[in-house]
A and B are shown apart, each in its own frame.
Chain A
Amino acid sequence: MNQVGGTKTKRKPPSARRKAVHGDNDHSVTAEITLLLNTLRELAAIRSTAEDAAARILDSAEGLLSLADKEEAEKAQGAILEIMTACGFHDLVGQRVTKITETLDCVIANRLTGEEPVRAKTSAKTGSEITLEGPSHSTAQDQARIDALFREKN
């Protein structure tokens, strides 16, 4: 999970950071927070745009699929199903945007209070002791690796 804030060696003690937040740097912190809030709005717009696009593509693909059914066009069906499954980008975009949004929320909270950032919500959605990480960066190999895990005996 993303670590929010600086490294241990460079990090100032909380009291010093609070002084920075409430002292001479008030204006720059305000500007920074405004920038971050604008970024959050952009991320929300990306998620909304992706959702709309996926829905419109699915509408068209479903329409095509009903035509392909009638003509028994197997190749067309395969292509349409590929279009449909590709619409899953909306889910993955949404999950990645959520991770970024939660991280930015932590940064904003940190800038406002000078306290240690709380852990991002995504990693806290555990369902017991399990930490969720969202989409990985190597999905092509993931399925094969998981299939191998499932072939192993307990």
Chain B
Amino acid sequence: MALDPSTPVLVVDDYKTMIRIIRNLLKQLGFVNVDEASDGTAALNMMREKDYGLVISDWNMEPMTGYELLREVRADDHLSRTPFIMVTAESKTDNVVAAKKAGVNNYIVKPFNAATLKSKIDAIFGEPS
């Protein structure tokens, strides 16, 4: 199942620099419909207003972290199938395992490059990376 480039993508990060970077990378991959949120609470509200085909979220944000957002999304019948990639500096094995158990589709450690982002998106949507 390839991801339609017109599918809305939500990028969640409290650092505007990171949002800008990811937005530019997504643009290069053909995604033109990219929205942004600065924490989990804002993202969750946006997801309840609009259908997103992919969420790319940081973990360490306040007041709602990316992990809490993930759990809220997976617990919500209408949102639970939304593909979710965590992009974070958190690399402790316990945390990665917790995110995996919570239902994250893929996990990228900062710093990362364009090829890593593309390969993780491709992996979720079944395209060769």
Given A94-B15, A132-B59, A135-B89: A143 touches B108 (CB 8 Å cut-off): yes
Interface residues of A in 61-108 (CB under 8 A from B): 61-62, 65, 77-78, 81-82, 84-92, 94-95
How distant is the Cα of A91 from the Cα of B18 in the complex, in angstroms? 7
Interface string of B27-50 (1 = CB under 8 A from A): 010000000000000000000000
* CB of A78, distance to nearest CB on chain B (Å): 8
Interface residues of B in 52-101 (CB under 8 A from A): 59-60, 62, 64-68, 71, 89-98, 100-101
Given A58-B20, A136-B91, A150-B106: A91 touches B15 (CB 8 Å cut-off): yes
Cβ A54 vs Cβ B93 within 8 A: no
How distant is the Cα of A136 from the Cα of B60 in the complex, in angstroms? 14
Cβ A145 vs Cβ B93 within 8 A: yes
Cβ B116 vs Cβ A92 within 8 A: no
How distant is the Cα of A61 from the Cα of B65 in the complex, in angstroms? 30
Residues in chain A near residue B24, CB distance under 8 A: 58, 61-62, 65, 81, 84
* Residue A51 lies at the interface, judged by CB distance under 8 Å to chain B: yes
Cβ B60 vs Cβ A90 within 8 A: no
Residues in chain B near residue A92, CB distance under 8 A: 89, 110-111
* CB of B53, distance to nearest CB on chain A (Å): 20
Given A62-B24, A81-B114: A150 touches B109 (CB 8 Å cut-off): no
Which chain B residues have a beta carbon within 8 Å of chain A's beta carbons? 13, 15, 17-18, 20-21, 24-25, 28, 59-60, 62, 64-68, 71, 89-98, 100-101, 106-114, 116
Which chain A residues have a beta carbon within 8 Å of chain B's beta carbons? 51, 54-55, 58, 61-62, 65, 77-78, 81-82, 84-92, 94-95, 122, 125, 127-128, 130, 132-136, 139, 142-143, 145-146, 149-150, 154
